[in-house]
């Protein structure tokens, strides 16, 4: 259940790996502090998402003639939604089947269900919708999970 104390400090940004009371991100979830299976940090997740966005932009350019980011002329609002749609479909299909996107795979991350380990289709749908809205992705709990992970019961972990 999501409650206010889980998100009370989100304005301060992601917390350090270990707090002053000795707790680390993922401890309450039963995850290790470091190494494979530990909660992925914000920076590495951002790199993965930027890689995925770049791939979605290239796919949108090839399929729908959408200009690439920073090209002339700049993409219109409708064209940005095409890239977002490609990003969402790519995310839904890959996370729902493999547990990771191309960007996740490159940087060594995987999305896991807290209940079963494998992401279920309903979890992938909910997570993708919330990720596409963007706001839930920038609201974190004390374990470093965004609202788009908290609601469907998933967590992004390191694979190496």
Q: Is the pLDDT of residue 44 over 80?
A: yes
Least confident of 46-55, 105-114, 135-144: 135-144
Instruction: Report residue 52 CA to chain centroid gap.
Output: 10
pTM score: 0.77
C-alpha to C-alpha distance for 17 and 39, rounded to whole angstroms: 9
Residue 10: pLDDT band (50, 70, 90) is very low
The kind and range of the H/E element at 63 are helix 42-64
Comparing C-alpha atoms, which of 105, 111, 108 is closest to residue 127? 111
C-alpha to C-alpha distance for 149 and 7, rounded to whole angstroms: 13
Mean pLDDT of all residues in 46-57 = 94
Query: In the structure encoding, which two tokens stand for residue 116, read together?
Result: 């079963």
Q: What would the pLDDT profile of 68-121 be if each residue is shown by its tens digit?
A: 666 655 555 667 788 899 999 999 999 999 999 999 999 999 999 999 889 999
Q: Is the pLDDT of residue 17 over 50?
A: no
Asked whether 65 and 57 are in contact (CB, 8 A), the reply is no
List the chain domain ranges: 35-158
């Amino acid at each position: 259940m999501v409650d206010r104390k889980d998100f009370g400090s989100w304005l301060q940004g992601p917390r350090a790996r270990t707090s002053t009371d000795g707790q680390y991100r993922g401890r309450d979830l039963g995850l290790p502090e470091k190494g494979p299976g530990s909660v992925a940090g914000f920076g590495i997740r951002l790199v993965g998402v930027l890689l995925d966005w770049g791939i979605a932009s290239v796919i949108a350019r090839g399929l729908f003639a959408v200009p690439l980011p920073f090209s002339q002329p700049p993409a219109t609002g409708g064209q940005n939604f095409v890239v977002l749609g490609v990003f969402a479909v790519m995310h839904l299909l890959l996370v729902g089947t493999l547990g990771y996107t191309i960007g996740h795979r490159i940087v060594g991350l995987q999305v896991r269900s807290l209940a079963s380990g494998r992401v279920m289709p309903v979890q992938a749908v909910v997570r993708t919708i919330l990720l596409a809205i963007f706001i839930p992705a920038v609201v974190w709990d004390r374990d470093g999970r965004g609202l788009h992970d908290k609601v469907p019961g998933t967590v992004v972990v390191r694979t190496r």
